[in-house]
Amino acid sequence: MIDETFIHTTPDDPLIEPIIDGLFAEYRARYGDYFGEQEEEPLGLYTPPDGAFIVLLRHETPIAMGAFKRYNVTTAELKRIWTHGSMRRQGLAQKVLLELERLARLQGYEALFLTTGFRQPEAVRLYLSQGYQPQFDLSIDPERYSQPPFDGRLPFTKTLFDQPARSHYEKSRAV
């Protein structure tokens, strides 16, 4: 049996430094300086009650990760979903995605938003296979989204509930 477990952490955890470095090395390899220097985000964005940062460990070694932060009152924004290159094609990104969805529901989010880069066809396939709705035209060559007026990001959305979640007030009145 494979020993896998999720941990909740922050992007500055020394344990996960190799996987964070791998993520950004891959971004550089795929995009060069297309997206320019990325601003560092406050680490608190990825902690409850508004966010989460999870890492999948196999035999105590980080192999995949993902996070979310508040996008708006009802929507979480997924970020940093990534699997170590040597561990791909095992369904690990899907495991991370499903765990992020579960955590977002627990935190009361009703929907998810995410973007992926125009040179990440495997990410596009993953999100489509999991019911995410593209907010761009799939019939257009993704490289076109790297040209103005686009910014290179391919946005997706997903509703987490079949019907809108009831407000806290409505829930308390139903009891």
| Domains parsed from the chain with CATH numbers | 4-174 (3.40.630.30)
From the list 115, 41, 105, 36, the residue with the least C-alpha distance to 78 is: 115
Dihedrals phi, psi of 39, to nearest 5 degrees: -70, 140
Give the global pTM: 0.85
Q: Is the pLDDT of residue 130 over 80?
A: yes
Say how far apart CA 103 and CA 76 lie, in whole Å.
Answer: 10
Q: What is the dihedral of CA 33, 52, 154, 149, to 10 degrees?
A: -60
Say how far apart CA 52 and CA 9 lie, in whole Å.
Answer: 8
Share above pLDDT 70 across residues of the chain, in percent, rounded to a whole number: 87
Q: Is the pLDDT of residue 171 over 60?
A: no
Give the pLDDT confidence of 14-62 residue by residue, as tens digits.
998 888 888 888 877 877 776 666 666 777 889 889 999 999 999 999 9
Give the pLDDT confidence of 81-111 residue by residue, as tens digits.
999 888 889 999 999 999 999 999 999 999 9
Q: Is the pLDDT of residue 65 over 90?
A: yes
Look at the block and give the residue holding tokens 């699997």. Answer: 83
Q: What is the dihedral of CA 91, 96, 97, 101, to 10 degrees?
A: 140
Question: Quick one: pLDDT at residue 35?
Answer: 61
Q: Is the dihedral of CA 61, 62, 64, 65 positive or negative?
A: positive
Q: CA neighbours within 13 Å on the CB side: how many for 153?
A: 8
